[in-house]
Every structure is written in C-alpha cells, then in structure tokens.
Homo-oligomer: A and B are copies of this chain.
C-alpha cells in the first residue's frame, strides 16, 4: 500500500508511540455492512486524544472550564487499513508529531489484538481563547508538557 503523506517509514513511525488507550468496538458502532462504521474512528481518536492530554497533565484545565483556553479541532485525517468488527479490542496510540505556537499536530495509530494496524491518522488541535475566540499561544508549562510527552 501507498503510505499516507504523514508517514515516512512505517516501522519507525509505528514504534514511536508510547501512549496507548484501550477501546472495544461497541455493537451500536457497527453498521449494516457488518463492520465498524467509518465515522467511529474519529470518536476513538477523540477519546485517545483527551486521555493522552490528561496523561501528560494538560487536559484537566481544558475540560473543567477552569482555564481560558479550550482545544479546538483544526483538521482530522483517518486512513482505514483493515476492517474492524464488533467486540474487537483495539489500542488507540497517540503521539505529538509537531508543536506550533498555539497548536499541536497529533498522530494516531489503531491496532488490533494481533498488533495489526487497522487505522492510522493525524490531526491538528489549536488552543483557542474562550474570551476572544482567537488562538491562544501555549504558555511555557503547556509547551514543556507537550515537548516531553
């Protein structure tokens, strides 16, 4: 298969993930073709992403409405490599690919129990100020957390 543009070396890319979020395919997430409906991978990405942010110490503030900034999705991309079915146990792996001034590019890898890659993906999140509606640059602490993720 041709690699997505965000992957140079598949093996190297695949081994560069250190955070894994487990998820099991629900019955309501299948469709009449018998497999997981394609729209569901983005739900898995979102859960993996939020869990990743919490794990590195960033999420608390965003999702408790305590802080000024909230994370906004700028774009999302999913490549479907292998069909998945009801009740499969998957791992959603998440990593930081690039850090911008007020944004971060995340990569996603979804594997099944055998370790086969089922989906890959990427997407950019932007921190946006709830007050101004504009992008809000990372403060030093947040940048440091992302850099050491």
A72 at the interface (CB under 8 A from B): yes
Number of chain copies forming the complex:
4
Given that A31-B32, A43-B39, A46-B39 are contacting pairs, would A75 and B75 also be in contact in the complex, using a CB cutoff of 8 Å? no
Cβ-defined contact, B50 with A27, below 8 A:
yes
Cβ-defined contact, B74 with A46, below 8 A:
no
Residue of B nearest to A42 (CB): B39
| Bound complex: CA A79 to CA B72 (Å) | 12
Q: Classify the interface of chain A: helix, strand, loop or mixed.
A: mixed
A28 at the interface (CB under 8 A from B): yes
Residues of B within 8 A of A76 (CB): 38, 77-78, 80
Question: For this complex, into which size category does the number of interface residues on chain A fall?
Answer: 20 to 34
Q: Which of A26, A28, A63, A77 has the most chain B CB atoms inside 10 A of its CB? A: A28
| Bound complex: CA A34 to CA B73 (Å) | 14
Cβ-defined contact, B27 with A30, below 8 A:
no
Cβ-defined contact, A38 with B73, below 8 A:
yes
Cβ-defined contact, A31 with B31, below 8 A:
yes
Residue of B nearest to A24 (CB): B47
